[in-house]
Structure 1
Amino acid sequence: MRARSYLFTLYMEYLYPQNQAWVGDLIRWMEMLEFSEPAVRAALSRSVKRGWIIPEKVGRKAYYRLSPRVAWQVQTVRERLYSYGSVWDARWRILVYAVPEAKRTVRDRFRNELILLGFGTPAPGVWISPNASLEAARDLVGFYGLKDYVELFQAERFSKSEPLDLIEKSFNLKEAQMRYRAFLSAQPGQARNAEEAFVRLTQMVHEARKSLFLDPGLPPELTPPGFLGVRVKERFLELYAQLSRQAKPLLGVQSAA
């Protein structure tokens, strides 16, 4: 799973928006990340079987293009990873579902992707977010064929309890805070060469992508005091710019066009 997960990171970071890669570029990058060529080819084969990528031939060269579904995921992750939230409109996005047990596998995948969009759950079957995209949520419902089991709302909150109590119940911010402390305490020196910069950049983006499942990117009005999300994002973008410049000589790809 780890090799496939890193392949997703490569497509997200270095192959957007074309969403297509020559197998030689993928192998070259993955070998720098210490994955063997057989492991890369096996990961690509499994990804094809799952419908995540689509093989293409151009002349004698093999290319792999992201499926439309995974390309949508890439765009969603990039939007959350590299942009700051807009001004909050004081409304909550609410999704309620009652998915039958017969669709448990689909339901579990759907729930994981709701988290990726920035939703949290204060109670079984209820998901909330102050700023997730309702359009993206509708797309997700349609993809999983759950429109008969899901309702979406946008509403204001009138409870007398503190909104931070709701945030604490709905999101795993404690684990995010632990990860953020570790990130800020690390003091990496300057990368010695382009390959080291590439490895560090890719690993940093890969870990940041995981953090999206813990930190929904709350607006300032709803962020607990002392939460490190904004500081981490600023540091991440600073290191990102620095490492991207250093790694640039290794980031050229062969296009199928």
Structure 2
Amino acid sequence: MFTLFGEYIQHYGNEVWIGSLINMMSHFGISESSIRGAALRMVQQGFFKVRKIGNNSYYSLTSKGKRTMMDGFTRVYSMRNYKWDGYWRILTYSVPEEKRELRNQIRKELSLMGFGLISHGTWASPNPVEKQVMEFIKDYHLEPYVILFTSSSIVSHDNQELIQRGWNFDEIAKEYDMFIEKYRKKFDDFKERAWNNELSDRECFIERTKLVHEYRKFFFIDPSFPNDLLPPDWSGTKARELFFNVHQLLSVPAIRYFETLFEKAPDCKFVANRDRAINPFMDII
């Protein structure tokens, strides 16, 4: 659902009729009952809000849902050839045992933001994520439990030793290599079939959505480090170039097919940002 909102729905008013959502997700073998159940859980967890018009239900993202969706969307499409500013963002926390679930949520969110665990209760990131972290602290009312600060140097260890403590780039590279092997073959096949007019709009919608959904999984394991902290000849760079090429090959027909599936609310007034839907890379920095 987050993939569909990030790739398509956010550019068409950020609200979708449940019938359209069911139709879209049926292309991936997901049953109507599963979709309705998932949508209900998303409402209960504060990611979705729903409004009724007659007998129809229309779902949109809450501010919490938008933040979660945009965190992933921005990391998928943003340019990554930036230089490290020299600062580590370091977060420590101490959560009472009776709030164990909150502690687990903190760990999960920090991992998603690219933090690495460098010692017990201490997480670090070289990325400029202060605003993102402060929003997370506010959303979950964590002020009594966490401290966030920055440091331009680590006295006891050098930067590479710190990186080795918090992240396993060898394992991440293996995942990228598998993605490259799979989609390099697919890209060659798509190019040939597109040239021969054998690639349908429906297939492009399915394949683009699968591509993004699969690539988004790196959001959970790759901390998106600045270039000067990455290993040499980094597989993630090659995977990203391949992702861009496949994505753009499929984009126009995929959006064309999405527009046949999408039904907006009768009272919804918006101007679809079709260009952005076709090319999300165009102005994400």
Structure 1-normalised TM-score?
0.91
Q: Paired residue for 1:233?
A: 240
Q: Of 162, 165, 186, which residue of structure 2 is paired with 1:166? A: 162
1:95–1:128 contact (8 Å) kept in structure 2: yes
Query: How far is 1:44 from its partner?
Result: 1.6
Q: What is the alpha-carbon distance in structure 2 between the residues aligned to residue 209 and residue 175 of structure 1? A: 17
Whole-angstrom distance in 2 between the partners of 1:148 and 1:119: 20
**Paired residues of 2:8 and 2:255 also in contact (CA < 8 A):** no
- Who is 2:227 aligned against? 220
Report the CA distance between 1:154 and its aligned residue: 1.4
| 2:150 aligned counterpart, secondary structure | strand
Aligned counterparts of 2:89 and 2:46: Cα–Cα separation in 1: 30
Instruction: State the AA in 2 paired with 1:31.
Output: S
CA distance in 1 between partners of 2:169 and 2:10 (Å): 29
The answer to whether the 8 Å contact 2:83/2:228 transfers is: no
Question: Which residue of 23, 28, 36 maps to 1:33?
Answer: 28
Cα separation, 2, equivalents of 1:198 and 1:13: 10
Larger RCO: 1 or 2 (CA < 8 Å, sep 6+): 2
1:11 aligned residue: 5
Say which is worse superposed, 11-20 or 98-107, in terms of deviation. 11-20
TM-align CA RMSD: 1.8
The yes-or-no answer on 1:120 pairing with 2:129 is no
Change in CA separation of 1:160 and 1:114 when aligned onto 2, cut-off 3 Å: closer
| Helix, strand or coil at the partner of 1:166 | helix
> Which aligned segments of 4 or more residues in structure 1 are displaced greater than 6 angstroms?
none
Deviations 1:151-182 (A, max 9, x none): 11111114475422221211232332111001
User: Unpaired segments of 5 or more residues in structure 1?
Assistant: 1-6
Deviation at 1:238, TM superposition (A): 1.5
Contact 1:118 1:129 (C-alpha < 8 Å) held by counterparts: yes
2:69 paired with 1:69? no
Aligned 8 A contact 1:97 1:151 in 2: yes
CA distance in 2, matches of 1:73, 1:132: 17
Are residue 205 (structure 1) and residue 199 (structure 2) matched? Answer: no
Structure 1 residue 42, shift from structure 2 partner: 2.1
Task: State the partner residue of 1:255.
Answer: 264
**Structure 2: 5+ residue runs without aligned partners?**
194-198, 269-285
User: Does the CA contact (< 8 Å) of 1:175 and 1:214 recur in 2?
Assistant: no
Matched with 1:196 is 203
8 Å Cα contact 1:55/1:65 also seen in 2? yes
2: CA distance between counterparts of 1:148 and 1:154?
A: 19
Query: Would the aligned equivalents of 1:52 and 1:67 in 2 still touch at CA under 8 Å?
Result: yes
The one-letter amino acid paired with 2:89 is: R
Letter in 2 for 1:9: T
- After TM superposition, the score normalised by the length of structure 2 is 0.82
Residue 23 (structure 1) aligns with: 18
Whether contact under 8 Å (2:83, 2:227) holds in the other structure is no
Aligned to 2:141: 145
Change (3 A) 1:23 1:108: same
Give the percent of matched residue pairs that are identical in Structure 1 and Structure 2: 34
Deviation digits for residues 13-38 of structure 1, max 9, x if unmatched?
Answer: 21125432111211111011111222
CA offsets 1:115-153 (integer angstroms, 9 cap, x no match)? 111111111111111114101101111111111111111
